[in-house]
Structure 1
């Protein structure tokens, strides 16, 4: 499995990163890696450039057709928290579907899994966007 990491900084959870590398038996690829990947670890904080939508577009461009994103954001109570409404809105506007379920919580980070919507959802969005 190939995994690209976007938004890594000094505040990321190193233990989580090492566990991902151990489970996949491969190194995390940096932002300069250009071939399509199976998954993206996207570390995102509020009030940090680039915007969440920009970061999601960047992640989407890196994915294979069946790829997915783990969006990692600071936990509630953090001044850099990204609110769930912001995640839902940005995901919808960039063509992602927020997976139902609890996600993951790792120390000071929460992980939300984003996927491309099922093709039937895409068809409905396209039909809804057509002029009368």
Structure 2
């Protein structure tokens, strides 16, 4: 069994629980009633933060574009609960630094390919040489 508890367990002492099977992920015991109070904007902010982190890890967009694209899905109440834009962009840069992402060349006239971009996850060479145009 896997035991799940409410994310507001520590803050609001919510005792809602859910039991699932480890093998099939089927619900064994349905969730009990929540005693915490949640609003829609907190869920929006959580989804916003997940989307920011996902785009920071998996795209090459500049931080300003990531923030702008993620703002589109938020309501006014959700935007009001966010930190200032510069702090969000700083967090995007930190996520990318922690992952050690190499900046891929976005210019078609780049001079050379970084060696870390010529290897697979298993350190196999998949790009032997750049023959140019």
- The alignment's TM-score, normalised by the length of structure 2, stands at 0.26
Radius of gyration: which is bigger? 2
Q: Which has the higher strand share?
A: 1
Q: Which has the higher helix share?
A: 2
Larger relative contact order (C-alpha < 8 A, sep ≥ 6)?
1
- The alignment's TM-score, normalised by the length of structure 1, stands at 0.26
